[in-house]
Amino acid sequence: MWGEPGSVDRWVERESRNLNASLVTAKKSLETLLREERPSCRTRDGEEWPIDREGLERLAAACDPGEAEALRLPLAVHFSSDLSDACYITDGIAATVLRRAEGFGPAYPFREGRMYLPLSLGVDLVSRYKGAIQQVFL
């Protein structure tokens, strides 16, 4: 198996699909989710992805006019094996709103399309926002 050309690439691709099978592919705006009785999205494999209302309200309180409609959730925090002690967010609006919600101030600037965070902070955010923030493994 491993001696065949491309076998390792196929294995890595299959494992990545399995690892990220629960990713939400059709995100909803924060504004839309706040109107839902039971806020949720659907994952790639068709399962419901529930989102805790408390996390939504925390993000909504940090939004400027128009940002609740522009912000798509769940917010993705990317964890890469290339980064041993950091993770990152690639959505500029999400980075701005999260910075306000968490009181980061000038810490963790959004530069060159990414806001890098310490790995432990990324894990903490995923845990505290209960569905409003999703981890993506690269």
In a domain, 66, yes or no: yes
- Which residues in the chain belong to E strands, given as ranges? 28-29, 40-42, 48-50, 72-73, 75-79, 86-89, 110-111, 114-118, 133-137
User: Confidence band (pLDDT; 50, 70, 90) for 126?
Assistant: very high
In a domain, 107, yes or no: yes
In a domain, 9, yes or no: no
Per the document, the length of the chain is: 138
Report pTM.
0.83
Range of the domain at 27: 22-137
Report the domain count for the chain: 1
In a domain, 101, yes or no: yes
In a domain, 12, yes or no: no
> How does pLDDT run across 46-67, given as a tens digit for each residue?
899 999 999 999 999 999 999 9
